[in-house]
């Protein structure tokens, strides 16, 4: 388990509002306790959470149950409408509890949720309240199958509560430890990486630089698909989407029907980007409240050797990358830090593609690429050590070819100069084109059967691993605690 950086510096770019906190999901530290205060409830339902339609959640039991509760209570949802079952874990800014709705409708299936409880007074003392507010703001923005759904938010006294979906499959770090070789197969790596890439793509489109990608922050839902979580380190800034023309290499020109080629901007202008993960409300907000413009222009990328000046345009593609985001914050997990973060010269959205490369490496080989004897050695290795790959036994020629492809992608992601890193110019568009992802049907990836669908045995194994690697595993609440109108713990434990 890698230790984390404690240093905390504010971001400096005036065009970006950001949050920076020390990462803490890889190590447990001493607990800080804060006394309880008034227990009276104050209900405040966020307008975004109350009215925002999430089309990818339609017909799902948990979403419908929350909508029903909101209708019955006139939109005023509070803590006494939920039963806390047990504590799932603790974070730097609060605790997460497993919960369910009290008195659900007769005949409705039981629905479990994850409730994050934040002590605002305690965070104010520790000067971390702004981070919790930023995380809440980001959660309100999200509407994507591989990112958290904010079902409800409300206040109870000096506590803020966020109700999100519960992922029974644990995280990919614990799931990797369950593998016979403590690492994933090539096919599993491709599946999890593809879904994670789509989540990062959406975040960048929304002007959010994630900055905290690692297996511990990728949860596995009940259906086996992933959910990227924890936005304590995220950087929020403006983004300008662009509609770029694709080009056909001259050697393939004769294979393209002339009717499909159109180099005129007037031909490309009517084309609308197909964003299946955006609701109508989100697209409206995307074009009005954010300072964004969509333009059509020809690709001019000197670094892409496959495209030449004599090539023909054959279509358009949406590129939305926050390339102007800049920060000098020095936070995160040591083993995942990008060189530009360590140097302190400033970093932007390219850090997400570096961490994506480390993420691929760890899932494939069971360890991170630059881990040293201690934290200082790790940082030196990231800055100076060349990338190497351990030997990996393969069972077939196809697996060998796939290994070579993913290693080639990792090499292009773990380029120490961020300007030369794949994804630095056009973001996920460049990465999705890589040979490793050849054959991935991005539009229908949610229809693909995941490598592992959580069941009771799998969930129990995850619990054992987490209890082995953590200081403790939370116990279920007592019957008396569950039956009380609502229950806020007397103390919050932070690490």
Classify strands 95-101 and 82-90 as parallel, antiparallel or unpaired. antiparallel
The secondary structure of the chain, three-state, reads CCCECCCCCCCCCCCEEECCCCCCCCCCCCCCCCCCCCCCCCCCCCHHHHHCCCHHHCCCHHHHHHHHHHHHCCCCCCHHHEEEEEEEEECCCCEEEEEEECCCCCCCCCCEEEEEEEEHHHHHHCCCHHHHHHHHHHHHHCCCCCCCCEEEEEEECCEEEEEEECCCCCEHHHHHHCCCCCCCCHHHHHHHHHHHHHHHHHHHHCCEECCCCCHHHEEECCCCCEEECCCCCCEEECCCCEEEEEEECHHHHHHCCHHHCCCCHHHHCCCCCCCCCCCHHHHHHHHHCCCCCCCEEECCCCCCCCCCCCCEEEEEEEECCCCCCCECCCCCEHHHCCHHHHHCCCECCHHHHHHHHHHHHHHHHCCCCCCCCCHHHHHHHHHHCCCCCCCCCCCCHHHHHHHHHHHHHHHHHCCCCHHHCCCCCCCHHHHHCCHHHCCCCHHHHHHCCCCCCCCHHHHHHHHHHHHHHCCCCCCECCHHHHHCCCCCCCCCCCC
Alpha-carbon distance 32 to 93, whole Å? Answer: 11
Alpha-carbon distance 382 to 415, whole Å? Answer: 10
Alpha-carbon distance 228 to 142, whole Å? Answer: 11
Closest CA to 357 of 214, 208, 156: 214
Alpha-carbon distance 253 to 76, whole Å? Answer: 61
Residue 254: burial class (beta carbons within 10 Å; 0-12, 13-18, 19+)? exposed
302 is catalytic: no
User: In which residue are the tokens 């497993």 written?
Assistant: 98
Q: Which of 212, 230, 232, 311 is catalytic?
A: 212
Other beta carbons within 10 angstroms of residue 64's beta carbon come to 16
Active site residues: 212
């Amino acid at each position: 388990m890698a230790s984390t950086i404690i240093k905390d510096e504010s971001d400096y770019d005036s065009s970006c509002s950001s949050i920076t906190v020390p990462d803490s999901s890889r190590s447990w530290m001493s607990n800080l306790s804060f006394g309880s205060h008034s227990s009276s409830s104050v209900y405040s339902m966020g307008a975004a959470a109350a009215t925002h339609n999430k089309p990818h959640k339609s017909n799902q039991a948990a979403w419908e149950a929350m909508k029903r509760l909101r209708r019955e209570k006139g939109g005023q949802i509070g803590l006494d409408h939920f039963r806390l079952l047990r504590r799932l874990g603790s974070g730097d800014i609060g605790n997460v509890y497993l919960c369910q709705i009290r008195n659900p409708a007769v005949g409705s299936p039981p629905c479990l949720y994850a409730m994050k409880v934040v002590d605002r007074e305690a965070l104010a003392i520790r000067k971390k309240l702004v981070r919790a507010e930023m995380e809440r703001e980001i959660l309100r923005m999200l509407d994507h199958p591989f990112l958290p759904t904010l079902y409800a938010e409300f206040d109870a006294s000096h506590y803020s509560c966020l109700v999100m979906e519960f992922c029974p499959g644990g995280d990919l770090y614990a799931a990797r430890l369950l593998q016979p070789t403590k690492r994933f197969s090539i096919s599993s790596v491709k599946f999890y990486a593809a879904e994670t890439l789509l989540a990062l793509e959406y975040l960048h489109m929304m002007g959010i630089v994630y900055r905290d990608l690692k297996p511990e922050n990728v949860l596995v839902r009940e259906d086996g698909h992933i959910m990227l979580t924890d936005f304590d380190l995220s950087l929020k800034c403006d983004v300008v989407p662009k509609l770029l023309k694709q080009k056909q290499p001259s050697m393939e020109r004769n294979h393209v029907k002339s009717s499909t080629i159109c180099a005129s901007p007037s031909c490309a202008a009517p084309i609308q980007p197909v964003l299946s993960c955006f609701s109508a409300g989100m697209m409206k907000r995307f074009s009005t409240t954010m300072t964004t413009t969509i333009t059509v222009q020809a690709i001019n990328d000197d670094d892409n050797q496959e495209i030449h000046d004599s090539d023909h345009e054959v279509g358009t593609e949406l590129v939305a990358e926050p390339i102007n985001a800049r920060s000098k914050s020095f936070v995160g997990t040591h083993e995942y830090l990008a060189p530009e973060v360590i140097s302190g010269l400033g970093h932007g959205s390219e850090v997400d593609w570096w961490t994506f490369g480390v993420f691929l490496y760890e899932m494939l080989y069971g360890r991170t690429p630059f881990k040293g004897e201690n934290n200082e050695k790790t940082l030196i290795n990231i800055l100076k050590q060349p990338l190497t790959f351990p030997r990996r036994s393969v069972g077939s020629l196809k697996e060998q070819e796939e290994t070579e492809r993913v290693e080639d992608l990792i090499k292009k992601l773990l380029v120490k100069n961020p300007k030369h890193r794949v994804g630095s110019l056009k973001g996920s568009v460049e990465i999705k084109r890589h040979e490793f992802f050849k054959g991935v049907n991005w539009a229908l990836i949610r229809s693909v059967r995941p490598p592992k669908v959580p069941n009771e045995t799998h969930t129990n194994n995850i619990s054992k691993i987490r209890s082995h690697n953590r200081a403790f595993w939370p116990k279920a609440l007592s019957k008396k605690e569950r039956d009380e109108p609502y229950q806020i713990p007397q103390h919050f434990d932070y690490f």
